[in-house]
Structure 1
Amino acid sequence: MQPSSDHEPAVLALMRASRALVGLTVRALADVEADVTIPQFRALVVLATRGSMRGADIAEELNVNPSTGTRMTDRLVGKGLVRRVRSTDDRRVVQLRLSAAGRDIVEKVMARRRTELERIVAETAPVWQPAVTDALTAFAVAAGEMPEQEWWMGWTRQAAELQD
């Protein structure tokens, strides 16, 4: 059942665009031959964006049950994409951090996605008016996504933590 509203055309367009964006991610994951599901990749991106986190915080960020988050991160640890690090302040606290392999997957997938998005934007250049870009930016902010420059600053911090 789909509610009808004045916003219906925008909602339908975003639903279609969302499917296309998920498809780009799936193809990019397949290209890097990563044994990673979309939800697992999202967890890797959360760690890349936010830095080290507790498992419960990742589960909350992904809006999944803590037990689901634990199973997911256990699998990522098992694949060598995430590692557990005990807090130096409180040995009871275990933080999850991207490994070099996890960082490599995120970098490759994001680079492939960006290349594909650049191609698509070039093909649809006439419709990319400032209002469209502003609307998509506002949408991303409302959805809680970080701006690209902040995301990469977090990424730089995460890479520095891996060097420790």
Structure 2
Amino acid sequence: MEQMLELFFKHGLRPMSLMAEAAELEQTLNRSEISALMFLEYRGELTMSELAAELGAPLSTVTSLTKRLVRKGLAERNQSDKDQRIILVRLSDEGRKLAGQAKAMMENMFARVQAALSPEELQQFLTLAVKVGKALQHKEDKDSAPSDRTVRKIRIDD
């Protein structure tokens, strides 16, 4: 189960968009907000830049998104103790509760998939899901390089 969750988050896939059960959760949050909650639950505290990279969205969009999450009481934004220019985002207790609900929905979906497949089929499914995810993330134009989703860390002397 954990392997499937890691597969989706490691490769930037959004499994909540596949689930009818998510409709109830989407009455409170939009899919981008749910994805942000899930990444924060999965990765822990992130800088705004790291969260933007995980979501594949511009920093300005993620700034707006996190402000909405803060207003809803689902996340907290704080300045880094080491560098005040860095804003760290983490889930509040209520945010962890909603992320837990979303994770339970995903685990339910993955359990149904796991029950329907043999161990060999499950391994094939995971391998194919990674390939499909990677193919969908890359632009069709072969001349353009895939976007670099890594966050550069710059050392700042105190």
**TM-score, normalising length: structure 1:** 0.61
Q: Find the residue that maps to 2:21 and give its secondary structure.
A: helix
Paired amino acid for 1:107? G
Q: Deviation per CA, 1:128-155: give whole Å up to 9, x if none.
A: 12232112333566658xxxxxxxxxxx
Q: Which runs of 5+ in 1 are unaligned?
A: 1-17, 145-164
Which residue is equivalent to 2:44? 51
79, 89, 97: which is aligned to 1:96?
89
Q: Does residue 37 of the first structure (1) align with residue 37 of the second (2)?
A: no
Residues 57, 72 of structure 1: CA spacing in aligned structure 2 closer, same or farther, 3 A cutoff? same
Which residue is equivalent to 1:83? 76
Paired amino acid for 2:21? R
After TM superposition, give the deviation of residue 119 of structure 1 in Å: 4.4
Output the CA distance in 1 between the equivalents of 2:126 and 2:15. Answer: 17
Question: Would the aligned equivalents of 2:73 and 2:95 in 1 still touch at CA under 8 Å?
Answer: yes
Identity %: 30
* Greater fraction helix: 1
Output the CA distance in 1 between the equivalents of 2:79 and 2:107. Answer: 34
Moved over 6 A (4+): none
**TM-score, normalising length: structure 2:** 0.63
Residue-pair matches, total: 121
Question: Would the aligned equivalents of 1:34 and 1:105 in 2 still touch at CA under 8 Å?
Answer: no
Q: Find the residue that maps to 1:97 and give its secondary structure.
A: strand
Q: Find the residue that maps to 2:53 and give its secondary structure.
A: helix
